Amino acid sequence: MKSNVRLLVLLLLFGLGAAPAVVAQNRAARSEKHAYHQTQVVPVLGQQRLKLEAQLTAADQAALATYRRQLKELRQQRHALRQSLAPAGPGTTRPAPTANQLLLRQQLSAQTKTLMQAVRAMAQRYQPVIKQLAEEVQPQQQQWVADLRAITLRYATPEQQQRLAAQAPRRLQRSAYFSPTAFLLREAPAALAATIAARRAVSSSLYPNPVATTGQLDFEVAAAGAVAVALLDAQGTQLRTMMAESQAEKGPRTQQLDLRDLPAGLYFYKITTPAGSETKRFIKE
C-alpha cells in the first residue's frame, strides 16, 4: 500500500514519463547511501561499540545477550503475525484480525516494551561512557552528515537541489548514532569481542614488580581444567615451567614464584588456562 501511494505521488509530481526515471534515481541514491554507511559509518561505530564492550560487567554482557535473543524472537513473531494479516494477492483486501491475533499483538507489544525498559535501565548506567565515545568521533559524524547530504543532492532534481541548498545543514544529533539504548544493543564486532573475552578469561598480577627473590602471582581461573605457568626470557623463549596442574578448579589462585636464581633483566610469565592465556612482563633485580 505504501509503495503504491509513493508511486502515485511521483506520477502526480513528475508525470507518467518521468516517474520511472525518478524511481530509478531514488533507488540508486538509497543504494549509494547504504554502501557509504557500510564502509564509512559501521566500522567506526563498531570500534566505539567495542570500547564499550570492554567496560561492561560480565553480568551485563550476559543479560544483554539474553535481551538481544529475546528481542530477535519477538521481531520474528511480529513478522509472522504481519504476514498472516497480509492480503492474499493483488487486488485483495487485508483480512480482519481474529481475537487471538489481536491478543497476540498486544502480548508481543507488552513483552517488547518490558525488555526495552530493561535495556534502557542498563544503558542509563553507561550513558557517560557512551557520551564520551560519541565525542571521540564527533569530526567523523560531521563528515558523515556532509557526505550523505552530498549524495542526496547528487541524485536530486534541479528543483529539489535548490530547496536543499536553501536549507541550513541539518544539525548533528548524537541520538542519530549514539542513542544509549540503540548503541548498547548494537553488537560489537565478533572477532574483536572474542579478543576481549579472551583477555578477560585470565587476569593476573605479580607482586612485587620488580622482584628481587620471590614474587606472588595472583590470577583467576575462569574455567576448570589444565593450568600452567611458564617463565620466558626477554626473547619469549620458555626457560622453565613454574606451575602445572592437570585439573585446576575454577576460582582465584595464588602461586609463589622462586626467582632468586635468575640474572637481573627483563622476563615474562605466561599463564595458560582452558579459557585462554595471558603473557605479562616483569623485571628481575
Q: Which CATH class is domain 202-284?
A: mainly beta
Q: What are phi and psi of 259, to 5 degrees?
A: -120, 15
Helices (H) and strands (E) in the chain, counts: 10, 7
pLDDT at 232 over 70: yes
The model's pLDDT over 241-278, given as tens digits with 9 standing for 90+, comes to 999 988 888 888 899 999 999 999 888 888 888 777 77
- Indicate the domain borders of the chain: 2-88+98-189, 202-284
Q: Residues of the chain with pLDDT > 90: what percent?
A: 28
Q: Which of the two residues, 10 and 82, has the higher pLDDT score?
A: 82
Round to the nearest angstrom and report the end-to-end CA distance of the chain.
78
Task: With CA atoms as reference, report the closest residue to 130 among 168, 184, 79.
Answer: 184
188-215 mean pLDDT: 72
pLDDT at 14: 45
The model's pLDDT over 135-149, given as tens digits with 9 standing for 90+, comes to 999 888 888 888 888
Task: With CA atoms as reference, report the closest residue to 186 among 34, 54, 49, 66.
Answer: 49
Confidence of residue 11 (pLDDT cuts 50, 70, 90): very low
pLDDT at 197: 57
Q: Where are the beta strands (DSSP E) in 133-224?
A: 204-207, 214-221
Confidence of residue 195 (pLDDT cuts 50, 70, 90): low
Helix (H) or strand (E) holding 240: strand 238-248
Q: Residues of the chain with pLDDT > 70: what percent?
A: 84
The pTM score is: 0.57
Confidence of residue 183 (pLDDT cuts 50, 70, 90): very high
